[in-house]
Amino acid sequence: MTAAVELLKTRRLYLLLRDRIVTGAVGPGSRLPSEPALAQEHGVSRVTVRRALDLLAEEGLVRRRVGSGTFVEDPPASRPIVADFSNVLSNLIEMGRATAVKLLSFAYVAPPASIAEPLGLEPGERVQRSVRVRLIDGQPFSYLTTHVPERIGLTYSERDLATIPLLELMERSGIVAERATQSISATLVGPETAAALDLAPGSPVISLTRVVYEPSGRGVEHLHALYRPDRYAFQMDFVRTDVAGARRWTPTVVQASRTASSPRPSRPKRTASQKGTRP
């Protein structure tokens, strides 16, 4: 009755090996078992093993040497963009990198309850729904779906949205963003979103949901964002302090750094002159 959709064996083995590599179970430089050995060990044919290894090699996780074996590569040290906890992209600006926004969709619609409820909307109140993709150095890294109450959305134009950060638009219109709550999770991209992010469908992405409130307690923005994990990561630093007699972690402002995999202790920063851009 239930289909269950077994995962392709190639993909399955790929994920398994990839897992062992990224978690450090097999260290860089070490040799993987031979293809026939892997085939027997996992009950698949050598052809399938090869396909899985092909994928790993494409990603630069392993290197194959004819006659010798397949070896784990040193981490390619790809450096995702790092955002601090407040998700401010001022880091990027400081680094002088070019960000651009592409507006994919813009309309006023009746919101589903899952949007209307956290925004505290009256029944029947409409929202502005917009979908944007943000690029850095010409490459997409985030897919943003925002819902804004109609009364607020009307204070700026579609053209504004394609060029100016949403929160900045709202603050220009006199709307005061006072409080926000956000949660970070993970999900898979569908084919449409994948295409917009230049990803393969089914790739994992970071998922962020944020609601911004004005002082009255009413919601002014509902954001659902997806981030490419290879180009973006959330980084946060903490210090252990005594608060009311108890040891607690308190967050500190993270410094801009090009590396995420091996985050180094902070460095003296250059002063920010430009205003921050938000997703």
Partner DNA sequence: AGAAGCTGTCTGCTTTTTGATACAATTAGG
Partner DNA sequence: CCTAATTGTATCAAAAAGCAGACAGCTTCT
Q: Which residues bind DNA (CB under 7 A)?
A: 1, 5-6, 8-11, 32, 34-37, 39, 43-48, 50-51, 53, 64-70
31 touching a copy of itself, by CB under 8 A: no
Applying CB under 8 A, among 41, 102, 202, 258 the residue interacting with a copy of itself is 202
Straight-line distance from the first to the last Cα atom of the chain, in angstroms, rounded to the nearest whole number: 44
Alpha-carbon distance values, 48 to 12, 18, 35, 44, 126 (Å): 10, 15, 9, 6, 52
Backbone φ/ψ region at 165: left (φ over 0), alpha (ψ -120 to 50), beta? beta
Shortest spacing between CB 61 and DNA, in angstroms:
14
Q: Which does 78 bind (CB under 5 to 8 A by kind): a copy of itself, DNA, none?
A: none
117 touching a copy of itself, by CB under 8 A: yes
**Measured between alpha carbons, how far is 109 from 130 in angstroms, rounded to an integer?**
10
**Measured between alpha carbons, how far is 133 from 199 in angstroms, rounded to an integer?**
13
Q: Would you say 159 or 236 has its CB closer to a copy of itself?
A: 236
251 touching a copy of itself, by CB under 8 A: yes
Q: Would you say 102 or 159 has its CB closer to a copy of itself?
A: 102
Backbone φ/ψ region at 29: left (φ over 0), alpha (ψ -120 to 50), beta? left
Q: Would you say 78 or 159 has its CB closer to a copy of itself?
A: 78
Applying CB under 8 A, among 152, 254, 256, 279 the residue interacting with a copy of itself is 254
51 touching a copy of itself, by CB under 8 A: yes
Cβ-Cβ contacts under 8 Å for 153 (sequence gap 6 or more): 108, 127, 128
Shortest spacing between CB 81 and DNA, in angstroms:
33
Burial 29-39 (b: 16+ CB within 10 A, else e): eeebbebeebb
Q: How far is CA 224 from the centre of its chain?
A: 11
Applying CB under 8 A, among 12, 46, 64, 126 the residue interacting with a copy of itself is 12
Q: Would you say 159 or 178 has its CB closer to a copy of itself?
A: 178
Q: Which does 235 bind (CB under 5 to 8 A by kind): a copy of itself, DNA, none?
A: a copy of itself
Span of 60-68, 94-102, 152-160, 225-233 interacting with a copy of itself by CB under 8 A: 225-233
Q: Which helix (H) or strand (E) holds 251?
A: strand 246-252
18 touching a copy of itself, by CB under 8 A: yes
Q: Would you say 151 or 224 has its CB closer to a copy of itself?
A: 224
Structure tokens belonging to residue 76: 């390619």
